[in-house]
C-alpha cells in the first residue's frame, strides 16, 4: 500500500549486494532473497576459498557509491605474473605500468563484507534460505521456498533483478521458458581443483604475495593467489579426460605425487604432502553461459546470471560490478523508466558480455601456454615500451581490459587490430636483438 | 515383479511412436506418456496442418520394421521445386533423377497413423494427458502429472527414451541440471505464418501437387506443399523485425493485401482474400537446439529433444527417424547393453545432429535466395548431368541428404569439397554456353 519505490534482488552475492547500494541511493526499498544461509554466520571451509582479482572496473563500480574503501583492506595487490618453469626458474611479467596492480581477494571474505554493505549502505533486508522457485516476469512477482520453514512465500516489486549467478533460478524458471530467448551453456574440456598452500610456521608467505603465480605447462597450469593469512589458494586447471595429464588419469596418490614432483618441482618442495590433500577439494567444472535478451517485463539479469564466464581473465566479478555502472547510467538517462532502461541495457551490454566471455577463454591460452614462450613475453615487452612512450596511441589489450573502463567489446576489437600490427613487428629479422631501439618504435608508430 | 524387459517413451510424436515398434520387436513392453490429448480424437484445426517432407532416411527407418506401407498412402510425391517469380513465371528444378521425390505428408495425419502403428505394431500402451514433471536419470524413473485427474504418478523402466520434442521436459528437468551438460537454444531472426490455400470448388488442386512450390524473394520466401484434400499448406518465412518486409511491419490488413499483391502476384490471384485469413494462424518462431551428451544413466534423447532444427531441409522428421535406425544398430551391436549402446549413440550420432542443423540453416539461403539465381540453377544442372554420367563419383549434396542414408556429417563434408570444385567450374568463361559439353564433364572429372 506504500508508494515507496520497491525492488527485489534475487541473490545476495557480490553483484546483488552492490546493486542494492545503488538502488538504495535512488530511493528504492530493497529486499534481497538468498538461497543459501548467511555465510557470515557459517564457517568458511578452506576448500571454498576461491580467490578473485579485483581490477579497475570493479573499483570504479564500488567507488561510485563510496564503498571501495570498505573492500580495500581485504585486497592484496599483485603487480604482475610470476612464472615458474619446470626447472624452478622464476620470471616476472608486470601487468601494466609500475603502480598498476590487480587485487587478490577471497570470495568468502568479500561476499561477507558486501552483505554488510548491502545492509548498512543499501538499507537492504536480506532473507536467507529463500530459494526462488518461480517467477512472473511480466508482473515482477517471485515465488520462494523458505527452506527453514518449508513454506512457500510470494513477493512482488516495481522491478526485480536476477543476480543469482551462473545457475540462475530466475533465468531457468522464467527467461528460459520465453519464446525467442537465446541461451547456451558450454562446459570447457577442463576442470579445476583447489589446493591450499599454508603459510610458513611463523605466518609468513611461502611465495611473493604481490604476484599472481603461474606454472604454465601448455595444456594445463597451476596458479596461486595470496590470502591475507599468509596462505595461498592454488588451483590446478587441466582436462577432465584425455591423455596422461588429465584429472581422470591422476587417480592414485602415487600418480598425484609423482605428477607434482615432476611437473611443479618448486611447488612440490613447498608442499610435499600434496597427494594427501588432493581429495580434500572437489573437482569442479567450468562453463560459459550466454543468454539474450537480458531482461523481460519487470525483470533484468545482471552478473553471472546474464553472462557467466570462465575465470581466466579475472573479469567475472569485475564485469558483474560493471553491469551496475551501466544500469545506473541508463537509470539516470531514462529517468527510471524501466522499460527503456532494460531495453537499452540488453542491447548495449550484450556485446560486452560476449566479449568478456571470448576474452576469458582467450586468456586461458595466454596463461597456461603463451606466458612460457619467450617470443610472447618479448612481444608484450615491446607493446609495453611503446605504450609508455605513446600512451594515447597504444594501450595493450590486457591494460584495456584490466586497467581501464573501455567497453569489453571495444577492447577486444582494438586488441585484434594491435595483434595484426605486432605480428608484422615480430617478423622483423633479429627482433630479439633490435627490439629496444627507437627504430622499432618508429616502425610501430608508422603502422598505426 | 515381471522379468519382462520394459521401456518408457516420453512423447507419442513421430519418433516416439516409431521407436515403440522397434522396441517391441526386441521384446520390450513399451509404455508411452504423452503430454497432449489423443489427436486422433481431436479436430485437427486447419491452422495446425504443418506439412512435412518424408525422404529416404525416413522411409528406411519405417521400412526396416515394415510400417512404411502404412504411411505411403498419406504421401504425395514432389519431384522438384517449382519456383514462382515476381512476374508469375514458373521454373522447375528436379530434386534428383526422374523417379526421385520427397513426399509431402501432413503432420497431424502422419502422427495419428504413427500412434495407430505404435499401438498395433508396437503393442505400446499410450497414456495421454500425462506431463513429465521430473526425471531420475540414473534410475530410469519419471514423475508425471495426469492432467485430467491432477494426480502425480511415477513410472520406472529398464530404459527411458525422451522423444518429447524441441521443448523436451526430460531435457529441461533432467539433462539440463547435470554438470557438464552442454545445451543451446538459438532462435533465428525469422518467424513463420501458415496460410491454407483451399482446393478449387471441384476439389482439384490450384497448383501442381507434385512439386514443392517456392516464391523465393531473397530475404524471405513463401512455400506451398500439397495436402491430400486438394488444398495446399503455404508458409511465409520472413524476419520478425527489421525493415519493410517483416512481420512487424505487416501490421494492417491493407499492408498485408498490398504486400501479397506486389510480391506474390500469382499467389494473390488464387487467394485474393489473403489479408482476411492472415490473423487466423499464429506467428511462430524457429530455433536450433543443440545438446550434449544425448544420454545419461538409463535415459537417452532422440529426435527433436536431442537436435531440434529449423525446417528448411525437410530433415527434422527424417533425422529423428534415422536416430531409430542408429539406436537399433547399436542395440544389436552391444546386445542391449544399454550403457554401451547409449555411450556410442551419443558419440557417433552427435556430429550428424550438428550437421543436420547446419545443413538446415544453409538450405534456408538456398530456398529463399539462391534458387532465384540462374547461375545457381545452372551449377546444379551441371552437377546433375555429371552425377548421371558418373553416379559413383558424384552425388550432389541435396541427393546425399535426401536420397541416401549417408551420414549427415559425411554429406556435409563432401558437399563442401564439391563446392570448391564447382566454384572453379563456374569460373570457366562462357560457362552458360559451354556447360552442356563433354569438355566440361572431362574437366570436372579431372578435378576430382
DSSP summary character for residue A428: S
Q: Which residue has the cell 533432467?
A: B174
What mean pLDDT comes out for the span A374-401?
95
What mean pLDDT comes out for the span A103-126?
93
Separation in Å, CA of A165 to nearest CA in chain B: 15
Residues of A with CB under 8 A from a CB of B: 172, 176, 179-187, 240, 285, 287
User: Which of these, A192, A187, A195, A196, lies nearest to A283 by C-alpha position?
Assistant: A192
Q: Are B81 and B214 in contact (CB under 8 A)?
A: yes
Nearest CB neighbour to B184, from listed A180, A183, A240: A183
Separation in Å, CA of B286 to nearest CA in chain A: 8
Separation in Å, CA of A187 to nearest CA in chain B: 5
DSSP for A417-448, written as a single string: HHHHHHHHHTTSTTHHHHTTSHHHHHHHHHH-
CB contact under 8 A, A185 and B181: yes
When scoring B169, B178, B179, B248 by the number of chain A Cβ atoms within 10 A, the one with the most, hence best to mutate, is B179
Q: pLDDT value at position B49?
A: 56
Q: What is the CA radius of gyration of chain B?
A: 23
Q: pLDDT value at position A46?
A: 44
CB contact under 8 A, B182 and A186: yes
Q: What is the ipTM of this complex?
A: 0.89
What mean pLDDT comes out for the span A21-28?
97
> Which positions in chain B touch A240 (Cβ < 8 Å)?
180
> Which positions in chain B touch A183 (Cβ < 8 Å)?
183-185
Q: Which residue has the cell 610470476?
A: A82
Give the H/E segment covering residue B135. strand B130-136
DSSP for A361-396, written as a single string: HHHHHHHHTGGG-HHHHHHHHHHHHHHHH-TTT---
> Which positions in chain A touch B184 (Cβ < 8 Å)?
182-186
CB contact under 8 A, A184 and B184: yes
Beta bridge partners of B222: B215, B236
Separation in Å, CA of A336 to nearest CA in chain B: 26
Sequence-ordered list of residues with C-beta below 8 angstroms from that of A268, at least 6 positions apart, any chain: A260, A261, A274
CB contact under 8 A, A181 and B185: yes
Q: pLDDT value at position A391?
A: 92
Report pLDDT digits (tens) over A395-424.
999 999 999 999 999 999 999 999 999 999
Report pLDDT digits (tens) over A145-161.
999 999 999 999 999 99
DSSP for B233-289, written as a single string: EEEEEEESSSSSSSTTT--SHHHHHHHHHHHSHHHHHH-TTHHHHGGGS--EEEEEE
Report pLDDT digits (tens) over B381-411.
999 999 999 999 999 999 999 999 999 999 9
> Which positions in chain B touch A186 (Cβ < 8 Å)?
182, 184
How many residues belong to chain A?
448
Report pLDDT digits (tens) over A289-303.
999 999 999 999 999
Separation in Å, CA of A167 to nearest CA in chain B: 9
Q: pLDDT value at position A305?
A: 98
CB contacts < 8 A, A to B, total: 38
What mean pLDDT comes out for the span B122-146?
97
Is pLDDT at A131 greater than 90 in this prediction?
A: yes
What mean pLDDT comes out for the span B12-32?
97
Separation in Å, CA of B187 to nearest CA in chain A: 5
CA distance A268 to A253: 14
Separation in Å, CA of B325 to nearest CA in chain A: 29
3 state DSSP class of A40: coil
CA distance B300 to B9: 10
Is pLDDT at A87 greater than 80 in this prediction?
A: yes
Report pLDDT digits (tens) over A175-232.
999 999 999 999 999 999 999 999 999 999 999 999 999 999 999 999 999 999 999 9
User: Which of these, A206, A200, A190, A174, lies nearest to A239 by C-alpha position?
Assistant: A190
Residue A4, φ and ψ in degrees, nearest 5: -60, 145
What would the grid cell of residue B239 be?
524476419
Q: Are A290 and A182 in contact (CB under 8 A)?
A: yes
Separation in Å, CA of B179 to nearest CA in chain A: 7
> Which positions in chain A touch B182 (Cβ < 8 Å)?
184-187
Is pLDDT at B47 greater than 60 in this prediction?
A: no
Is pLDDT at B46 greater than 50 in this prediction?
A: no
When scoring A185, A189, A241, A293 by the number of chain B Cβ atoms within 10 A, the one with the most, hence best to mutate, is A185
Report pLDDT digits (tens) over A250-269.
999 999 999 999 999 999 99
What would the grid cell of residue A159 be?
522491478
> Which positions in chain B touch A179 (Cβ < 8 Å)?
187, 285
Separation in Å, CA of B172 to nearest CA in chain A: 9
Residues of B with CB under 8 A from a CB of A: 172, 176, 179-187, 240, 285, 287
Q: pLDDT value at position A44?
A: 52
User: Which of these, A152, A132, A148, A129, lies nearest to A140 by C-alpha position?
Assistant: A132
Q: Which residue has the cell 514443392?
A: B212
Nearest CB neighbour to B180, from listed A182, A183, A187: A187
CB contact under 8 A, B185 and A184: yes
> Which positions in chain A touch B287 (Cβ < 8 Å)?
180
Q: Residue B140 — left, alpha, or beta (φ > 0 → left; ψ -120 to 50 → alpha)?
A: left
Neighbouring C-alpha atoms within 13 Å toward the C-beta of B60: 20
Is pLDDT at B67 greater than 60 in this prediction?
A: yes
CB contact under 8 A, B180 and A186: no
CA distance B360 to B368: 13
CA distance A281 to A285: 13
Chain center to CA of B30: 25
Beta bridge partners of A136: A141
DSSP for B52-68, written as a single string: EEE-HHHHHHHHHTT-T
Nearest CB neighbour to B182, from listed A180, A185, A240: A185
Report pLDDT digits (tens) over B84-120.
999 999 999 999 988 999 999 988 889 999 999 999 9
CA distance A150 to A130: 10
Is pLDDT at A47 greater than 50 in this prediction?
A: no
Helix axis angle, A408-425 relative to A438-447, nearest 10°? 130
3 state DSSP class of A238: strand
Nearest CB neighbour to B182, from listed A172, A182, A187: A187
CB contact under 8 A, A180 and B187: yes
What would the grid cell of residue B39 be?
489427436
Helices (H), B373-437: 374-389, 397-402, 408-425, 431-434
Q: pLDDT value at position B43?
A: 60
Confidence class for position A43, pLDDT limits 50, 70, 90: low
Separation in Å, CA of A109 to nearest CA in chain B: 27
CB contact under 8 A, B187 and A182: yes
Q: How far apart are the first and last CA of chain B?
A: 61
Nearest CB neighbour to B186, from listed A179, A182, A185: A182
CA distance B129 to B144: 9
CA distance A270 to A264: 10
Confidence class for position B39, pLDDT limits 50, 70, 90: confident
Report pLDDT digits (tens) over B358-376.
999 999 999 999 999 999 9
Beta bridge partners of A196: A233
Residue A84 CB neighbour total at 10 angstroms: 23
Beta bridge partners of A212: A81
Confidence class for position B50, pLDDT limits 50, 70, 90: confident
> Which positions in chain A touch B285 (Cβ < 8 Å)?
179-180
What would the grid cell of residue B129 be?
494427458
When scoring B177, B185, B284 by the number of chain A Cβ atoms within 10 A, the one with the most, hence best to mutate, is B185
User: Which of these, A51, A71, A68, lies nearest to A60 by C-alpha position?
Assistant: A68
Residue B128, φ and ψ in degrees, nearest 5: -90, 170
Q: pLDDT value at position B280?
A: 81
> Which positions in chain A touch B180 (Cβ < 8 Å)?
187, 240, 285, 287
Amino acid at each position: 500500500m506504500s508508494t515507496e519505490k520497491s525492488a527485489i534482488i534475487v541473490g545476495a552475492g557480490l553483484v546483488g549486494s552492490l546493486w542494492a547500494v545503488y538502488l538504495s541511493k535512488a530511493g528504492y526499498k530493497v529486499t534481497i532473497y538468498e538461497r543459501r544461509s548467511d555465510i557470515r554466520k557459517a564457517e568458511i571451509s578452506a576448500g571454498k576459498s576461491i580467490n578473485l582479482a579485483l581490477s579497475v572496473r570493479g573499483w570504479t563500480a564500488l567507488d561510485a557509491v563510496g564503498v571501495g574503501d570498505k573492500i580495500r583492506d581485504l585486497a592484496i595487490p599483485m603487480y604482475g605474473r610470476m612464472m615458474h618453469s619446470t626447472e624452478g626458474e622464476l620470471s616476472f611479467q608486470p601487468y601494466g605500468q609500475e603502480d598498476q596492480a590487480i587485487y587478490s581477494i577471497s570470495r568468502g571474505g568479500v561476499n561477507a563484507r558486501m552483505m554488510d554493505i548491502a545492509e548498512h549502505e543499501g538499507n537492504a533486508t536480506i532473507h536467507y534460505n529463500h530459494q526462488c522457485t518461480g517467477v512472473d516476469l511480466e508482473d515482477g512477482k517471485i515465488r520462494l521456498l523458505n527452506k527453514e520453514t518449508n513454506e512457500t512465500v510470494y513477493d512482488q516489486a516495481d522491478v526485480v533483478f536476477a543476480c543469482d549467478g551462473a545457475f540462475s533460478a530466475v533465468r531457468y524458471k522464467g527467461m528460459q521458458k520465453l519464446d525467442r530467448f537465446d541461451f547456451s551453456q558450454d562446459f570447457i574440456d577442463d576442470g579445476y581443483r583447489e589446493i591450499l598452500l599454508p603459510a610458513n610456521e611463523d605466518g609468513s608467505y611461502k611465495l611473493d604475495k604481490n604476484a599472481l603465480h603461474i606454472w604454465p605447462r601448455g595444456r594445463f597450469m597451476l596458479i596461486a593467489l595470496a590470502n591475507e593469512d599468509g596462505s595461498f589458494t592454488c588451483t590446478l586447471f587441466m582436462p577432465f579426460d584425455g591423455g596422461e595429464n588429465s584429472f581422470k588419469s591422476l587417480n592414485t596418490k602415487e600418480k598425484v605425487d609423482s605428477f607434482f614432483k615432476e611437473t611443479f618441482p618448486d611447488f612440490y618442495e613447498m608442499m610435499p604432502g600434496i597427494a594427501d590433500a588432493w581429495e580434500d577439494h572437489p573437482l569442479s567444472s567450468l562453463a560459459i553461459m550466454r543468454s539474450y535478451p537480458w531482461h523481460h517485463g519487470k525483470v533484468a539479469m545482471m552478473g553471472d546470471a546474464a553472462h557467466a564466464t570462465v575465470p581466466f581473465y579475472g573479469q567475472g566479478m569485475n564485469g558483474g560490478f560493471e553491469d551496475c555502472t551501466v544500469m545506473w547510467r541508463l537509470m539516470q538517462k531514462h529517468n527510471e523508466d524501466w522499460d527503456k532502461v532494460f531495453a537499452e541495457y540488453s542491447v548495449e551490454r550484450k556485446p560486452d558480455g560476449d566479449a568478456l566471455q571470448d576474452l576469458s577463454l582467450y586468456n586461458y591460452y595466454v596463461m597456461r601456454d603463451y606466458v612460457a614462450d619467450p617470443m610472447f613475453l618479448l612481444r608484450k615487452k615491446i607493446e609495453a615500451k611503446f605504450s609508455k612512450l605513446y600512451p594515447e596511441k597504444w594501450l595493450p589489450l590486457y591494460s584495456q581490459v584490466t586497467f581501464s573502463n573501455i567497453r569489453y567489446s571495444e577492447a577486444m576489437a582494438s586488441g585484434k587490430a594491435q595483434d595484426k600490427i605486432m605480428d608484422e613487428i615480430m617478423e622483423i629479422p633479429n627482433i630479439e636483438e633490435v627490439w629496444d631501439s627507437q627504430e622499432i618504435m618508429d616502425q610501430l608508430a608508422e603502422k598505426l
